[in-house]
Structure formats: C-alpha cells, structure tokens
Structure 1
Amino acid sequence: MGGMCGWTGCEMADTESRVLLDKMNEPIIRYDSRPVQKLIGKKSALAVSGHPGSVHTYQDQGIIIGISGHIRFNNIQSGQHSDHRNKARIFLENWLAKGERALTSIAGEFTLSIIDENNDRCLLAVDRMGTKSLACHANGEHLVFSTSLDAIIRHPQAAPQIDSQSLFNYVYFHMIPSPGTIYKNQHRLLPGEYLTFKNKEAKTKYYWTPGFEETGTRSFEDLKTELKTLLRSSIQDAVGNETAGAFLSGGTDSSTIAGILGEVTGEPAATYSIGFDAKGYDEMEYARIAARHFSTRHHEYYVTPDDVVTAVPDIAAVFDQPFGNASAVPAFFCARMARADGITRILGGDGGDELFGGNERYAKQYLFSLYSYLPPFLREKILEPWAENVSGKQLPLPFRKAYRFIEQAAIPMPARMNTYNLLLRHGISSVFTADFLAGIDTTLPDTLNEQTYHQINAKSLVNKMLAYDWKFTLADNDLPKVVHACELAQIDVAFPLISDEMVAFSTQLRPDYKVKKTRLRYFFKEALKDFLPKEIIAKQKQGFGLPFGVWLQDHPRLKALAADSLTDLKSRNIIRGDFIDTLLGQHLQEHASYHGSMIWILMMLEQWYKLRQTQL
C-alpha cells in the first residue's frame, strides 16, 4: 500500500505545488489513510506514503530523496547502517559518492527517486524483481513520475492519451507488459532498472541483471542447508514487526511459508484460503492438509458468482491500467479475510515456481527441446514436410500425437511458449476491427518476447525460461495482481520467496536441480520432503484460478455483467461486434473455461474504460 508521486522541471509557487501534489496523491492514498510525507522544492515536488516503516524521505540544500519500500543496505560502512539513521539520507550519501553504482547497496523491495535541483538531474529506480511499479512521463524540461499512472495523468504536463498499441498488447498478454503503459509517452521501469533525467533527456540502464552459475559443484546437502536458512531469514525479514499471516493455496510455496511462519513467530501461523464451488477448480482440501500438518490457525472463504459481480468494478478501479488476470478476485477476498482478522501483513508465495522450476510448461518445453537432437535431415526433410502435408485431425491417435509434437517442437523458442495464446487461436483479424488494426504493429508482442528471452545471461533452456518469467509472469502479472488486490483490501503484502538473497541462491543451482527432465522443482521438493506433507509434494499446480467461464453459463447477474460490458465495448471500435456475439454465444457453449478467459479480458477492458471516462 502507498507509493510515491512527484515531478521536476515545473517552477510554481509553494502553495500551487502542494495543491497539485495533493491532487496527484489522491489515487495513491484512496485505500490508505496513513500520513503522507511531502517535500517541495523550487521546481520539484515529491510525496511518499505508506506504512511508517516503508517511507523514507530526506531534503537538504536543493536535493529531495524518497524511498518507498522495505529496504536493507549492503556493501556500505558499518557506521552508516545504524537503525536510527534516516535510510534516505544514508542512500543519498552513497549516491553522492558513487553515483548510480550506489543502487547495488540496496536490498529489498523499493521504488526510489532523487531530485537534485542544484545540478538539474533526477534518478528513478525500482528493485531487482520489479515488485512495485514506477512509471514516468518525460516531456522536454519536465519529468513527472509515480507508482500510479492515475497520479501521473493528473499533472498538467502529462495529459492522458490512450496508446492503441498497448490495447493490442493487453489482449495478447492479458496485461500491458513493461516498459509500455496504457498511455502514450508514459513508461514503466523494468525490474533492476534505473532512469536518469538530465539535460532534458531521459535515459534508462540496468544496475542489476540476473546471471546464472550453471555448473555448480556444491553438494546437495550444503545447498539444502542454505535453502532452509534462507527461507527462515527471508520469512523473518518479511514479517518484520507486523502481525503476519499467509496466503495458503495448498501448493508447495504457500505451504512452505505457512510452516516456516509458525516457526519464526513461535506460534501457529494464521493462514487464509479461497475455495470455489465448481468442479476442477477447488483445491481447498490441499490447503486443509497443509493447515493440519503445520497446525495453523486456518481460515476459509468460498467465493461465489455474486461476489464476482460485486467485486469487478472495484478490481477494475484499483488497477491503473487494464489488467486481465481473473485471479485478482480470489486474491482480494483472501486478503480481505486476513485484514478483517487483524492481520497487518500477509505473505505471498509468488515467485517460487519461477525461481525453482515449478510451472508445467518448463517440463513440456524440455520434451519439445529433445526434438532438436534429431538429425537435421530427419527433421527438415522427412518429419516437418510430413506434418505440413497432413491433417492432424484425420490421423489415427498415435500419429495425431506425433503430428502435434512435431508441429510445436519445430517452432523455435520463445515463440513456442505462445502457441496456446488466446488471441492467436482466435485470429487477430477475427478479433480486432480493421480500423483499429490499421495503426497497430501486430508483430510487437513477438519482438518483446524475443528481446526479453535472448538478452538473458543463461545457456540452459530452463534458466532462460525462468528469467523470461521473472519479467512477464512475475513483474508484469502476478506481482501487480497481488499487490493491487491487497491494496484494495487495505493490507500490506510481502513476497519472501523473491528476496534478493533467495534470487541469488536460485541462480547458483544447476539447471537440472530445477527441472530434472520432467520433474519440476526437483531440488526444492527433495530439500523439503521431510518438512512438507507428502500430498503437497506430489500435487499438481493449480492456484487460485477463477471458474468465471463455468459460472457465466448459469448465473444471470454475472452473465448480464459480461454481456453489458462487451456490448458497450463494441462502440469503441476496437473489437469486432460479430466476434463478441460469437464469443458470448457459440464459443462460450463450446468451451466455457477456455473462452471465458477472453470474455473476462474484454470485460475488464471495458470496466477500466468506464471508470476513467471523465479523465480520457
């Protein structure tokens, strides 16, 4: 909760600056009544709000600095590290001495801004995993920035203008991948990135990028001991001085956090789970297994279709741009349950799969990668020509499977990971209007995928996929989902599995310790097999998936909400009207779960538009 907003390069009276700063800060503090620290300069201003322990500011002789987040320092003199010293001032001293290299001295999750009016320069930065967003609008002499796009567009130098390319990217990715935003000329910092603004020019550069040690020689026992130590220290740091609880889905990560949370606090952990009365979606029994195993103080709530109808406008409002991950709904109800129970900080297990190899597609892509070991002549002259000239649907079952395998395995990475993409399956020209597509680069998502995948400093397939997911799955999707859901529920959240120390440890593991052929999370599960219940070790990953498409068929209010939203979306000339009609009718009846996802994505787009009509 909380965040920051500010600007530099706009000279105005002190009272005028305060009025504008208050206006910008309104969307940041709408769910949070905690105090706001404001710092005003001659042509700059900054506001930082949030939990008292996460707000760090300092102002002196033309320099303003603000840090939002839970930070620690490393690689600095011990005398500077005293707890009673202002952390913003500590970092400022290091920055004045070392420049941008000082960013390597910060550990933890943070957004940071420094405005130096004496030298007409500004520095913005986010933490290594991009836990929270920081965006900016650079316009000549002016730089406007915030953790919220809704704050930026309230500044007169950053009038909002919808970026059509970002709308296309949203439907493709189900979110808008950074550095893009929904608005033209506004950009988000990437994980581990900083921005400098000087001489009317904004430049970005990484202060940290992941590097993988892929030939590790450390013994399994040494690694196992270190993992357990890091889990305890990361969870202890995440708890801090708060009354902490944990999300509990019954998966490996949430169960691990629940168990260790009880150990580090010395009392049974408070755990919170969401269920669904829908076949194939409810995994409450696994959460109960973990709760019994660790003797947690367990709490459950079953989300209903009526809950979804009520929550949709609030979910759309808390995100500062269109966001299509339906799991934000159960995450919100889970966080709200914890907040009502007196919990002040809830721990999420996000990131464990992306650090230790837990997603099903990692195993699938390993199998597809075996195809490249076949002789080129066999692949290029026999198998692929055969697959191109037959119809997979008409083949007998064994040959049909071979056809499908060759069809996908022949596609190079990372494009192979997107073969199930909803938009591509429906067909771009079948979804979007011709007028809309006239101004769109339909190849840009592929370019973003390629750039991210091929810039990763790793040789192994699994590490390339993991680091790719750190950006697209975590920083762009899962972390914003949980952060904003908790913001709406008015509760702080922390992610101990992606602490800097845990990330560094994961990069030292051999690739086959993460995914051993098709065995997911091999090392993590082996290291904790005497700690976690056997059922949790063996279970398939599921998570808090929302049965939206299934419910959509039989629930009148939910059906009306979706139909009304998509009908209104037609008038924006983005999505084809005939596609919307077919989607709500034929497609939904054919495969409710699959096509329900597209309905959700488009519904949330229209809901976001509606809530911002007066600003656009």
Structure 2
Amino acid sequence: MSGLCGWLGYGHSVTENLALLRQMASPLVRFDSCKLHACASGNSALATAASDGRAHIYQRDGLLAALWGRGNFLEPRLDEQAQREGMAKTLAENWRGRSGGDGRGAKIFESLSGAFACCIVDENANEVVLATDRMGTYPLSYQALAGGLVFASSSDAIRLHPSIRSEIDLQSLYNYVYFHMVPSPDTIYEGQKRLMPGEYLVYSKGGIKTEKYWLMRFQEDERHPFQELKQEFLEVLHSSVRTAIGDDETGAFLSGGTDSSTIAGILGEVSGQPARTYSIGFDATGYDEMGYARIAARHFGTRHQEYYVTPENIVSAIPQVAAVFDQPFGNSSALPAYYCAQMAKSDGLSRMLGGDGGDELFGGNVRYAKQHIFSLYEQTPLLLRKGLIEPVVFGLPGGGALPLIRKARSYVEQASIPMPARTETYNLLERYGRDAIFTPEFLDAVNPGYPARLLDETYHENDAKSLINQMLAFDRKFTLADNDLPKVAKACELAGMDVAFPLISDEIVAFSLRLEPHLKLKGTKLRYFFKEALRGFLPDDIIAKQKHGFGLPFGVWLQTHKNLQDLAWDSLSDLKSRNIIRGDFIEKLLQQHLEEHAGYHGTMVWVLMMLEQWYRQRQDSRSAMHSQA
C-alpha cells in the first residue's frame, strides 16, 4: 500500500529535511520496492510512495502537495487540468485559489472521487490541509508539534519524527479491548489523531479544525423499476471492477460468499480471461468454507488456487501480522487474508480485489436482521407492552424455569435497549465485566463510558429515516474504515501486494444510497436486491448460503496445538507485567474459560495476545520513547 508523510513547522536545511523524510518513510516502503517521491524546503517536507500512477507530488513557491491513491476529479474543468498538469498541482492550486469564504476546501474535496489520501502544505500561509476518501480506504494520522503539524498514513512514520513523543494512550488501550481495534478518530498514541471517512483537516496559525466534506445521504423515497435498477447495478459493477484493475496484474480473494464470488465473476468478464482467484481453508469442523469457493470457481471458470492454513502457519505469522499494523489490531481474519495475498504474490500478481463493503452497502450482516426483529417490539403500542406483555413475561411465577418465557424475557430485555447500545449486548468486555478484566489502577485512568459515547455519536450523525440505513451508515465507520479495510490492506501490504475494493467505489456507493430500504433488508431477508439482481449470474448455492467468512479456528486449535499454546501463554504472561489486564483474569481465561467454550473465549485470548505482540514488535513504546528523549 505504501503511503505518504510530511510536516510543517520543523526543519533545517533542505538536505537534512530530505534525509529525515526518508527515515520517516521507511515504514511505508518496508514490504515493497515503491519509489519514494519527496520534496522539501527549510520548514516543511512531504513525501509519497506508491506504484506508478498512485503517487502524485508537487512543489512550487512554498506550496507543497501530494496525493496517494487513485483519485480523480468529478468536475470537468478540474479533471482536464489534472490530466494536463497533474493531480497534486491541480489540488494545491485550486485549494489556494478557493481560500476565504464559507465552505472553504469542501468543494475541492467533494469533487475528488476514488480511494485516496492527500495533503497540501502552504508555507506562506503556515497552513496544512489533509483529507481522506469517502469510505476511509486510505488512512491518514496527524499530531501537532510546537508551531506545526506532523502527518503520515502510518503512526509508525509519525513516531520517527524527532519532535514527536509517543506515549501510549491508556484510553485507546481500553477502546482496543472493547472494539478489538482502536477506532478513529483516536490512535494508540496520546495527542495523535486519525481522519475519519470523508473528512478533511485544516491546520492554520496553530489551530486544528476538522470538517466532513461528505456524509452518506440516503434518498429513501426514490422509486425505480426493479429491472431498471438491475441493469444500472450491473453496469456500475463492471465499471467499478474495470477501474479497480487498472493496468495491474490482478487477482481476487474468493471466500465463496456473495461478495467475493461476484467480484470473481465480474473480473473474468471485464478482463476477458479467467480470473485468478485465491481461497483459504481450515481443517476444522464448522470453519472451512472451501466447498463454496470451489463452487464459485467452477461456475466462473477461474484459475483457482487454494491453501489450507495450519496452526503452525498461525504461530509463524502472528509476529509479522502484529508488526505490520501501526495500531493494536485484534481481527484474526487478517492472517488468512495474508496467506491469500501471499499466494497471489507468488503467482506474479501485483494487486488483489477484495469484496469488502457489500454487506455494509446492501444490508448483508446478520445483525441487521436481528435488529429488525428487535425493532418490531419498539413499534408495539406502549400500552400493550407495559400493560400486558411485560407484566406477563416478567411477573409469571416460576416463569424463569419455562424455556418459552426465558426466551421472551431475553427478547424484551434486548429490545428495550435503545440503538446503538443494543448492538453491543454480546460485547466480550461487557460480558466479562470491566472490573474482572482490567486492573483497578488502569480503570482509574480511563473513561469506561467513552466507547458507548463514540458509538452513540456516530449512530446519530446520520439523518436516515430507516433502521437499516442508520446501521449501514454506522458500519461505514466501525466495520469498514476501522476494521475490515485495514485488515485486508495491511495483510496485503505484508505480502507486498496492492489491494482495491470495487464494491465501495463512489459510483456503487451512490447507487446504494438510492435504493429503497426494503430492497436492502426485506423483513429478515438480507441484501434482497443484491441477490435478486445477481440471480442467474451467481450460482444458486452461493445466493442461498449462510454468511460465514474467513473466521480463524484459533480457540479450537489452541486446545491441542502445543506451539500455539506456548505462544499464547507466553504472550499473556508478559502482558500481566504491563498492569493493564488483571493476572487472575488471564489465569481464569486460560485455565477455565477455554475449557468451557474454546471458540467463544478464544477470541479474548487472541485480542490480548495480539496486544502483547504489538507491544513486542515496537520494543515497548514507552521504553523506546524514553530512550529517544
């Protein structure tokens, strides 16, 4: 993936600044051989690194700009200028030209389409502008320094700037255990923040201001004939995959699910040759989906490669995967994604297509149907709920012993919790209890209510009228930008591969915003339109299958595989000394909970193990920080 980095408000000679810039950029190019494009002056510097066509840079008269990715301008005048003079120059000069007045900057970013991160440094105005794409595909973090700003697509690059002190943010550690990743706008470091999807930042005269230049605005009242929608959908699918391929030798992840199978099929049609597809399997009951991947591969006639990940593969890859993430990251599906990308790299490919985003645009996650069922209780008249249902369900003597009454009580209890808190009723941290997991000293230093506040703010940021669209807008941040996209992008980076996500192209996103809510979730039928529009194109078995994915059988393997046990036990043993997690909780987790339900409790073992592994790969961030002081 490579990236960009730079700063304003620090420097010596141009030569020294360029040397520091190369040092900062070293984490961005450690897994590939992309050329570094750099420019500097006495007080600022900027660099971007990416494969041809995805690194744009410009410098003139104290104005520096860079764009990383595949952005393009929707406005014809800007697009023509970009083709003549380059993306970075067009971006910089039009930002400067639009200075002053309301909505400053927003229009130039509203006109940018595609997956990108960009920055503009104006030394004369002592100003920095940062922006990332609408879906948050390309990350961008920043940290203030005295009289300036340091920024990069990776926290690892920011940490290498001599003016930056990298103290671990305890609140972000708590958030990591809650979410299994560190959600934006926070990072794992104090004083360092991350742009959210569709957001831009202006640093000016020592102040920092962030604004949304794009939000998901649903057109819920539009009505169009099904056949018209289907034809348009197929057209934007082909266009998005064609754009995602570009001039690269491209393959596709193939899990056997609806999204990856669709991408595989369209890839073959667009390229005019059998698609190169890659699947991962697990020799563990209930986890292996290879059969569906083979159905899709045969149906589309792909050139298919398979690999069965073993426990020993996991032991080998865990330190590498922990190292590639600049934040602690606890989604175990990053490992199978890495082995998929590694196969494609061995085949000589340079880019993979991921099917991520289809669920979050067209209503494919199982929780959407569950929340719809709970919402039906909210629609029941209050008099009926409080006057009849709840007195019977909770007041019946001995009702707790009756299975039907127990289920009714559980339903009413969950349905009575307002959204979005209702989505977290199965949260592992909440199930164990924060006091059981964290040390008292740690809890005294954090705000346990912060995750719920962040969830609530994000959920109510959108003005969608329907429950399904509210959840889709919510998942754009938490499921996609904070979790699934970095999971796949970093796994591919580790394998030395580029990655694109055609199902979240701007044109597909725009199409999904116009769909009526019931076409996304029809009763409890998930992604109704998507499946019906592709019926006859996708195999019937793929359309009918239950959602699964690249789930890793970590907890199951942990019961029997000694080397995996040793790595987990050793990691959690060292984690005790950091005074974050209670030692008695770790012992109970390993000695009792895993025996009770390996799959369920194995998730928490994984999350804590990856936290310790992340610490180790950075030689303990606190010690490293003090050694630099």
Normalised by the length of structure 1, the TM-score is 0.98
Could you say what the CA RMSD is over the residues aligned between the two structures, in angstroms? 1.4
1:508 to 495, 506, 514: 514
Q: 1:118 and 1:388 mapped to 2: Cα distance?
A: 69
**Identical residues among aligned pairs (%):** 56
Q: 1:2 and 1:277 mapped to 2: Cα distance?
A: 34
Contact 1:433 1:574 in 2 (8 A): yes
Contact 2:333 2:550 in 1 (8 A): yes
Give the 3-state SS of the residue equivalent to 1:544 in structure 2: coil
Following superposition, the deviation at residue 92 of structure 1 comes to: 2.3
Matched, 1:615 2:624: yes
Following superposition, the deviation at residue 329 of structure 1 comes to: 0.3
Give the 3-state SS of the residue equivalent to 1:361 in structure 2: helix
Look up the match of 2:9: 9
1:537 to 520, 526, 543: 543
Question: Which AA in structure 2 matches 1:3?
Answer: G
Look up the match of 2:21: 21
Look up the match of 2:565: 559
Matched, 1:483 2:489: yes
Q: How does 1:51-450 map to 2 (within 5 A)?
A: 51-77=51-77, 80-81=80-81, 83=83, 85-98=85-98, 99-100=104-105, 101-384=107-390, 394-450=400-456
Following superposition, the deviation at residue 389 of structure 1 comes to: 6.4
Following superposition, the deviation at residue 403 of structure 1 comes to: 1.4
Look up the match of 2:498: 492
Q: 1:6 and 1:460 mapped to 2: Cα distance?
A: 42
Matched, 1:453 2:459: yes
Q: 1:51 and 1:564 mapped to 2: Cα distance?
A: 39
Following superposition, the deviation at residue 392 of structure 1 comes to: 9.9
Question: Which AA in structure 2 matches 1:359?
Answer: N
Cα distance change, pair 496–79 in 1 and its aligned pair in 2 (3 A): closer
1:590 to 590, 596, 608: 596
Following superposition, the deviation at residue 216 of structure 1 comes to: 1.5
Following superposition, the deviation at residue 343 of structure 1 comes to: 1.1
Question: Which AA in structure 2 matches 1:615?
Answer: A
Q: 2:390 and 2:180 mapped to 1: Cα distance?
A: 32
Give the 3-state SS of the residue equivalent to 1:479 in structure 2: helix
Q: 1:572 and 1:234 mapped to 2: Cα distance?
A: 47
Deviations 1:23-60 (A, max 9, x none): 21111111122210011022000110011110001111
Q: 2:149 and 2:398 mapped to 1: Cα distance?
A: 55
Give the 3-state SS of the residue equivalent to 1:235 in structure 2: helix
Following superposition, the deviation at residue 378 of structure 1 comes to: 2.9
Look up the match of 2:525: 519
Deviations 1:436-470 (A, max 9, x none): 00011000000000000011120100000001000
Give the 3-state SS of the residue equivalent to 1:77 in structure 2: helix
Question: Which AA in structure 2 matches 1:524?
Answer: F
Deviations 1:548-590 (A, max 9, x none): 0000000000001000000000000100000000100110010
Q: 1:541 and 1:555 mapped to 2: Cα distance?
A: 28
Q: 1:591 and 1:78 mapped to 2: Cα distance?
A: 58
Deviations 1:488-516 (A, max 9, x none): 00000000000011111100000000000
Following superposition, the deviation at residue 615 of structure 1 comes to: 2.5
Contact 2:182 2:188 in 1 (8 A): yes
Contact 2:199 2:212 in 1 (8 A): yes
Q: 2:395 and 2:140 mapped to 1: Cα distance?
A: 50
Following superposition, the deviation at residue 398 of structure 1 comes to: 1.6
Matched, 1:48 2:57: no
The 10-residue stretch of structure 1 (76-85 or 305-314) with the greater mean CA deviation from structure 2 = 76-85
Q: 2:364 and 2:32 mapped to 1: Cα distance?
A: 35
Question: Which AA in structure 2 matches 1:208?
Answer: W
Contact 2:72 2:79 in 1 (8 A): no
Contact 1:254 1:349 in 2 (8 A): yes
Contact 2:150 2:158 in 1 (8 A): yes
Contact 1:392 1:404 in 2 (8 A): no
Q: 2:21 and 2:134 mapped to 1: Cα distance?
A: 28
Cα distance change, pair 343–598 in 1 and its aligned pair in 2 (3 A): same
Structure 2 unaligned runs (5+)? 99-103
Give the 3-state SS of the residue equivalent to 1:68 in structure 2: strand
Contact 1:525 1:537 in 2 (8 A): yes
Q: 1:261 and 1:462 mapped to 2: Cα distance?
A: 29
Following superposition, the deviation at residue 395 of structure 1 comes to: 2.5
Q: 2:388 and 2:240 mapped to 1: Cα distance?
A: 53
Deviations 1:310-359 (A, max 9, x none): 00000000000100000000000000001101111100000000000000
Q: 2:391 and 2:213 mapped to 1: Cα distance?
A: 47
Give the 3-state SS of the residue equivalent to 1:64 in structure 2: strand
Contact 1:32 1:50 in 2 (8 A): no
Give the 3-state SS of the residue equivalent to 1:471 in structure 2: helix
Q: 1:4 and 1:280 mapped to 2: Cα distance?
A: 41
Following superposition, the deviation at residue 275 of structure 1 comes to: 0.3
Contact 1:140 1:201 in 2 (8 A): no
Give the 3-state SS of the residue equivalent to 1:378 in structure 2: helix
Q: 2:512 and 2:463 mapped to 1: Cα distance?
A: 14
Q: 1:44 and 1:392 mapped to 2: Cα distance?
A: 73
The 10-residue stretch of structure 1 (509-518 or 135-144) with the greater mean CA deviation from structure 2 = 135-144
Give the 3-state SS of the residue equivalent to 1:615 in structure 2: helix
Contact 1:392 1:400 in 2 (8 A): no
Question: Which AA in structure 2 matches 1:156?
Answer: P
Q: 2:10 and 2:398 mapped to 1: Cα distance?
A: 63
Ranges of 4+ aligned residues in structure 1 off by more than 6 Å: 389-393
Q: 2:388 and 2:578 mapped to 1: Cα distance?
A: 48
The 10-residue stretch of structure 1 (309-318 or 394-403) with the greater mean CA deviation from structure 2 = 394-403
Contact 1:80 1:90 in 2 (8 A): no
Q: How many residues align?
A: 616
Question: Which AA in structure 2 matches 1:18?
Answer: L
The 10-residue stretch of structure 1 (430-439 or 391-400) with the greater mean CA deviation from structure 2 = 391-400
Question: Which AA in structure 1 matches 2:41?
Answer: G
Following superposition, the deviation at residue 93 of structure 1 comes to: 3.0
Q: 1:80 and 1:203 mapped to 2: Cα distance?
A: 30
Normalised by the length of structure 2, the TM-score is 0.96
Look up the match of 1:600: 606
Contact 1:332 1:488 in 2 (8 A): yes
The 10-residue stretch of structure 1 (214-223 or 562-571) with the greater mean CA deviation from structure 2 = 214-223
